[in-house]
Amino acid sequence: MIVNPIKKGTELNLKIDSLSYGGKGISRYDGIVIFTNNVLPGQTVKAKIIKKKKSYLEAIPIELIEESPFKQKEKCNHFYDCGGCKTQDLDYKEQINQKENQIIDALRHLAKINIEKIEPIIKSKLIYEYRNKMEFSFSNNRWLINDEKGLKNEKPKDFALGLHPPKRFDKVVDIDNCEIQTKLSNKILTTLKKEVIERELIPYDIINHKGFIRNVIIKHPKHSDQVMINIVTAYEDIDLLMPIVSEIKKISPNIKSIINTINNKKSDSAYGMPQKLLYGEQFIVEYLNGFEFEISADSFFQTNSIQALKMYEYIRNECNLTGKETVYDFYCGTGSISIFVAKKAKKVFGFEIVESAIKDAKQNALKNNVTNTEFYCGDLSKMLENYNEIIKQNPCDILILDPPRAGLHPKTLKEVLKIKPKKIIYVSCNPTTQARDVREFINSSYIMGAVQPIDMFPHTHHIECVITLDKI
């Protein structure tokens, strides 16, 4: 066991070897692993130790000694303050390299799999303007950038519409232009900001829980070019919003839906809260390979439509369907993967705990004339208890898993093993929890096949990965 002699507050010169999942730089000093925030691989920095753990240290950079060969000029004016695109100043080829290595390291160290390489990552065709959904917050507490602190500024300090800086949910960086959303979405954002300021609507105070306007969610799918705007307020007051709606809908004929969600909770999440239709339709649509999917205000849909299509095509190919297979889709959401694979399967059963998502899934199947799917709302950790008869009558050949970032709950994993699928296709946006669960499957007589990363999120540390497991 290595005894850690380095004290908190110590300053060290560190060569950053790589990035961990989560975006922290990894270096080693006398055999001790050190994680450093806000650095790039290839940099040499003077860093100060801020946390001391048994097996590692955490540090912050205080001086750049040598720049990284992978450094590039960031495109976004808000890069150094916004908590979004943390690797925008890293060459995209190197972003890909780091993400591939993170998956390998997770499988090697967490799953204890002797793996040296994986399938080449499916790169994103677009590295800017790729997101079909962005959520912005209103605030009465604007984050001040370094060059305006202590100075007079045109922008009011008590108003912002944008994104939170890292680890500061009490403040918001006022965003003029977000490089990873579409140009039309940016125009909507700036127009909304102008109208709210001119009409003196009160931004929500997340500390004191006072104020009116809280968030705006802009959805702009790539293949349909339809736009939904969801304005979230603390209480209902249509009269305050309609003049703004009148101005916003003039921006483009592509704006098909404007929704008002009323969130009177202290929590910032507006999911499942009451909604009012202010303009247009209750939903917009997105097209993927001939399929049409309805997207409502609460619907989950992959935020990178172009990459989502590539991922769905890969999953379908990996299923190797002949028309005789029964497929189970756990965490099916609005049924996009289920519908995508159903054409070549005997039967697809989708399961999801969110009731509104199941409603959307059934509607999407109906809209696309897909008749061999069934969707059920329920707790996946009680599969055999709730759906025993379905499982008995329809033994699972292929199971598709797409759990939340936290991975599979231990109870759910046990239920999966009881179902005994012949093949598991595990989709995840978190390499660490995916590796943890893969180890459990390997321990239960499964063998790992292809490992296919897909870059859904350029300029961030996030990476989507599809792993195939076959029953021995």
Distance CA 398, CA 421 (A): 6
User: Is 377 designated active site?
Assistant: no
Distance CA 375, CA 42 (A): 49
Distance CA 145, CA 104 (A): 38
Q: Which two tokens stand for residue 50?
A: 């801020």
Give the residue from 14, 22, 17 showing the smallest Cα distance to 432: 22
Q: Is the dihedral of CA 390, 447, 325, 291 positive or negative?
A: positive
Distance CA 311, CA 458 (A): 15
pTM, two decimal places: 0.91
Please return the burial class of 289, using the count of CB atoms within 10 Å of its CB with bins 0-12, 13-18 and 19+.
Answer: exposed
Q: Which two tokens stand for residue 363?
A: 């509607």
Distance CA 202, CA 245 (A): 17
Catalytic residue, candidates 82, 85, 396, 429: 429
Say what the pLDDT of residue 148 is.
Answer: 56
For the chain, 472 residues long, the average pLDDT of each consecutive 10-residue run is: 77 96 92 94 96 92 97 92 90 97 94 92 96 95 71 73 89 94 97 96 93 97 95 96 96 97 88 92 92 89 93 96 96 94 96 89 95 93 86 95 94 92 97 96 96 96 96 94
Please return the burial class of 150, using the count of CB atoms within 10 Å of its CB with bins 0-12, 13-18 and 19+.
Answer: exposed
273-281 long-range contacts, CB within 8 A, separation 24+ = 273/232, 274/236, 275/230, 276/236, 276/238, 278/231, 278/238, 278/241, 278/242, 278/245, 279/245, 279/249, 279/255, 280/249, 280/255, 280/256, 281/256, 281/257
Q: What domains are there in the chain, each with its CATH number? A: 11-66 (2.40.50.140), 133-288 (2.40.50.1070), 304-471 (3.40.50.150)
E strand or H helix that includes residue 295: strand 291-296
